[in-house]
Chains A and B, each alone.
Chain A
Amino acid sequence: MSSTVLERMLSRAALELKDGQTVNLGIGLPTRIPAFLDPSITVCIHSENGIAGMGPVAPAGMADRNLIDAGGNYITTVAGTSYFDSAVSFGLIRGGHLDLTILGAFEVASNGDLANWMIPGRFTPGMGGAMELAQKARRVVVLTTHVDKNGNSKLIDRCSLPLTAPACVERVITDLAVIDVTATGFLLRELAAGASIDAVRAQTRAPLAVAATLGSY
């Protein structure tokens, strides 16, 4: 993926974060979103290992050995940071106090089912906090490439992989499009620069409705 495409995805994903929200950004692409936030808004970034109010990755040589995010990156604090134990951290998630999570995906189904934690026989690391984030965040957005490394669509009619959580995803942001999960399936909302409706349809293995007015990014 070119850096232009990557930055376009991250900039678009950053628009999902609203002033005053508490959000959790999944390991991988989502953790790179904060650099693209509108500087006029303030969000509280939570990481499930026990911090709310997470700052950027620590500059080289400035890492604090006791301060990491859930992905193991050495991070920094912001004004207002708090630390807590793992029970409190997941209480924040399950208790409905997390406004938004943005996660990666192996598969997203047109009914909102998400598979992002295991590939039987190949990738079995354990779910970590993924199930609780997917099932209990007030809003779940997926940020992912539209197709996997082999060119297979990640947006499909029904997940073939073990689920992380059923019917949880509300929106998918990819390198091609922004697609919402609605009661009747996928709905194309926005096209990435250079993408066409036909191209998105060709790369999506499920019926795709198209919104009356299409945005772009």
Chain B
Amino acid sequence: MRSKLAGLEDAVSAVRDGMTVMISGFGIPGTPFTLIDELVRQRPRNLTIIKNDANERGMGIDRLLEAGMVDVLVASHIGLNPRAVEQMNAGRLRVEFNSQGILAERVRAAGVGLDAVLTDIGMETQLAEGKQRVELRGKTLLVEPALHADVAFIHAEQADPFGNLRYAATARNFAPLMAMAARTTIAEVEDLVPVGSIAADHVHTPGPFVQQLVVLPELSEAYHVFNRA
């Protein structure tokens, strides 16, 4: 079997100027901090980032914003990151807000070969402005196009070399969806186990969706419990 194991630098070099990158995580849990930090080091430019939130100052995708690598951020909520709000208000960062579950479905749609989802979420609000509408069974619905990416960065608790993944608790969030939606999915994993060690019923993301695995030698400070007090 061809191993999907890759070195950190080599894996992240798949991201080039102008690409669209999906990044898993909701707040800290599930955010692939190591892949993001390596991306900051390699510094490709003019990226479109698709991530639920903008993390918090000094961590995760805030570092991409700080380095000026991001042109467009597709997200649902950036309120915990003052830098993201500031860059948006200054016109230096284009933020495309999506309702959180619609963001999830747009990503999922790309991953499962659907061109769009139809929804009434946000109808009669400013979210609906400028969006294509269709009539279906007597109802007016918004067309929310599938969101594709060149590369997905995700974080998993456990993996086998075939790329079967298992997530921990609320660190799952967007990872299974993004793993399906990108041309190249790179998973950073805490624990690599032999093929067959993850029971078939316990696999959250099946191996065929994953192209590269980066094993984390250790977890940096960013992954740990964050004391906001």
Binding site for B on A (CB under 8 A): 47-51, 63-70, 72, 74, 83-87, 89-91, 93-94, 124-129, 131-132, 135-136, 162-166
Q: Are B170 and A72 in contact (CB under 8 A)?
A: no
Q: Are A68 and B124 in contact (CB under 8 A)?
A: no
**A-chain residues with CB within 8 Å of residue B225 when the two chains form the complex:** 63-65, 74
Say which size band chain B's interface belongs to. 35 or more
A-B contact count (CB 8 A): 135
Cβ contact of B169, chosen from A64, A85, A87, A127, cutoff 8 A: A64
**A-chain residues with CB within 8 Å of residue B168 when the two chains form the complex:** 66
Q: Are B125 and A165 in contact (CB under 8 A)?
A: yes
Chain B, 25-66, CB within 8 A of any chain A CB: 26-30, 52
Residue of B nearest to A47 (CB): B170
B219 to chain A, nearest CB (A): 9
B54 to chain A, nearest CB (A): 9
Cβ contact of A86, chosen from B75, B104, B125, cutoff 8 A: B104
Q: Flag whether B134 is at the interface (Cβ < 8 A).
A: no
Q: Are B127 and A127 in contact (CB under 8 A)?
A: yes
Q: Are A131 and B121 in contact (CB under 8 A)?
A: yes
Q: Are A65 and B29 in contact (CB under 8 A)?
A: yes
Q: Flag whether B87 is at the interface (Cβ < 8 A).
A: no
A186 to chain B, nearest CB (A): 21
A158 to chain B, nearest CB (A): 13
Q: Given the interface contacts A67-B170, A125-B85, does A85 sit within 8 Å of B121 by beta carbon?
A: no
B60 to chain A, nearest CB (A): 13
Q: Are B125 and A131 in contact (CB under 8 A)?
A: yes
**B-chain residues with CB within 8 Å of residue A67 when the two chains form the complex:** 29, 169-170
In Å, the complex CA distance between A136 and B76 comes to: 17
**B-chain residues with CB within 8 Å of residue A85 when the two chains form the complex:** 104, 172-177
**B-chain residues with CB within 8 Å of residue A135 when the two chains form the complex:** 120-122
Q: Are A132 and B127 in contact (CB under 8 A)?
A: no
Task: Add 19 more A-B contacts to A74-B225, A85-B104 (CB < 8 A).
Answer: A49-B29, A50-B173, A65-B224, A66-B30, A67-B29, A68-B29, A72-B27, A83-B170, A85-B172, A85-B173, A85-B177, A86-B101, A86-B174, A126-B75, A127-B77, A127-B99, A129-B99, A129-B101, A163-B124
